[in-house]
Amino acid sequence: METLLISDPTDFSIAAHILQEGGLVAIPTETVYGLAGNGLNATAVSNIFIAKGRPSDNPLILHISNLEMLNPLVKAIPPTAKLLMQAFWPGPLTLIFEATDTVPSIVRAGLPSVAIRFPSHPIIQSIISLSGVPLAAPSANTSGKPSPTNACRVQEDLNGKIDAIIDGGSCEFGLESTVVDLTGDVPVILRPGAITYAMLTDVVAKVIIDPALTHHDTSLTPKAPGMKYTHYAPDAELIIVKGPLDRVIPEINHRLQEAKSKGLRTGVLGTDETLDSLHCDIKISLGSEMNLHQIAANLFEKLRIFDDLGVDIVYTLSFKEEGIGKAIMNRLEKSAGYHIIDVCE
């Protein structure tokens, strides 16, 4: 299949037509690129799973472009949902509701609930409106790889497997949306993102964080099926070193030296402030440690660059789990397969 690359807004109607016919189009959002198909068409949705190589027990998010689109998809809109929608939609927040039968079972991976997001990016909003249906859209990467934050990375993974890719430049946030489950008495964060715990509790009094997110104990199964898989992994072995910088830097340098002596091509994922004091073959900065939003926006793209350069082993610093730092560390730890060295221990 030839994959069409669309960048001119006058061609957006072509993308909408492809979606109406059951085809697949990768579309930029404010978080990451999504691989979209008609969310009410089970065959289109099945093709999304095939193109990504995604396990069928991992449900998809339905994307809407106005609030009227929500009603047919969900059984009820609880009062907490109304508050969160008012505060954060459109934007990087996904809410989980009890689903109606209108939502095909394959979208929900057989669950009674459905995840809904109203994205703020004008391109996906425009494509949803033109196609007139909710779009099922997981991140537009091959399952397991870091999510794509620009059209080139989508091409790398999905060229020849999908009908079209819309190039809308780089994504603003760079990490996937915060996922909040509203099907119980208290909202539960199933996946941290740019809408942080503090932002959520400013709007609704009580919010719980899924315990499986904070304890890396494998006996706890996360409530978002997608959170249990190894994810975002570069081909290189990635290792996080945690602790005070004056101990982390010599520890990383020592380990890099050891890796070099074994003939490995070494890399470091650092910050503007630390890169000069680290010594390896390929050094990449995520940005200034004073700006966690910049670090979040760069994370997935920088991880992919190590693979472009054939690096075997990468050491990375860790970040404070405050604000968006929680989402950064969640993704980084999964990328590293929880290979973490704590120099305080």
User: Contact positions toward ligand TXA, by CB under 6 A?
Assistant: 29, 31-32, 34, 58-61, 92, 94, 96, 108, 111, 113-115, 117, 119, 137-139, 176-177, 179, 190-191, 223-227
Kindly tell me which of 297 and 317 has the beta carbon lying closer to Mg ion. Answer: 297
Residue at shortest CB range from Mg ion: 139
CB of 262 to ligand TXA, least distance (A): 35
Identify what 6 binds: Mg ion, ligand TXA, none; CB under 5 to 8 Å per kind: none
Kindly tell me which of 190 and 241 has the beta carbon lying closer to ligand TXA. Answer: 190
Identify what 94 binds: Mg ion, ligand TXA, none; CB under 5 to 8 Å per kind: ligand TXA
Identify what 224 binds: Mg ion, ligand TXA, none; CB under 5 to 8 Å per kind: ligand TXA
Query: Which pairs count as long-range contacts for 206-210, CB under 8 Å and 24+ apart, including other chains?
Result: 207/180, 210/181
The residues facing 95 across adjacent strands are 116, 180
CB of 153 to Mg ion, least distance (A): 13
Identify what 287 binds: Mg ion, ligand TXA, none; CB under 5 to 8 Å per kind: none
Of 17-25, 136-144, 191-199, 241-249, the window that binds Mg ion (rule: CB under 5 A) is: 136-144
Q: How far apart are CA 103 and CA 15, in angstroms?
A: 22
Of 5-13, 90-98, 134-142, 179-187, the window that binds Mg ion (rule: CB under 5 A) is: 134-142
Identify what 179 binds: Mg ion, ligand TXA, none; CB under 5 to 8 Å per kind: ligand TXA
Kindly tell me which of 182 and 224 has the beta carbon lying closer to Mg ion. Answer: 224
At 117, list the tokens: 């997001």
Kindly tell me which of 90 and 267 has the beta carbon lying closer to ligand TXA. Answer: 90
Kindly tell me which of 104 and 193 has the beta carbon lying closer to Mg ion. Answer: 193
Kindly tell me which of 58 and 105 has the beta carbon lying closer to ligand TXA. Answer: 58
Kindly tell me which of 50 and 309 has the beta carbon lying closer to Mg ion. Answer: 50
Kindly tell me which of 135 and 280 has the beta carbon lying closer to ligand TXA. Answer: 135
Q: Which residues in the 58-117 window bind Mg ion by CB under 5 A?
A: none
Of 94-102, 137-145, 187-195, 318-326, the window that binds Mg ion (rule: CB under 5 A) is: 137-145
Residue at shortest CB range from ligand TXA: 226
CB of 26 to Mg ion, least distance (A): 13
Identify what 96 binds: Mg ion, ligand TXA, none; CB under 5 to 8 Å per kind: ligand TXA
Q: What is the 3-class SS of the chain, one letter each residue?
A: CCCEEECCHHHHHHHHHHHHCCCCEEECCCCCCEEEEECCCHHHHHHHHHHHCCCCCCCCEEECCCHHHCHHHECCCCHHHHHHHHHHCCCCEEEEEEECCCCCHHHHCCCCEEEEECCCCHHHHHHHHHHCCCEECCECCCCCCCCCCCHHHHHHHHCCCCCEEECCCCCCCCCCCEEEECCCCCCEEEECCCCCHHHHHHHCCCCEECHHHHCCCCCCCCCCHHHHCCCCCCCCEEEEEECCHHHHHHHHHHHHHHHHHCCCCEEEEECCCCHHHCCCCEEEECCCCCCHHHHHHHHHHHHHHHHHCCCCEEEEECCCCCCCHHHHHHHHHHHCCCCEEECCC
34 Cβ contact partners less than 8 Å away, ≥ 6 residues apart: 26, 27, 63, 124, 135, 137, 138, 139, 140
139 near Mg ion, judged by CB under 5 A: yes
Q: Which residues of this protein are in contact with Mg ion, per CB under 5 A?
A: 139
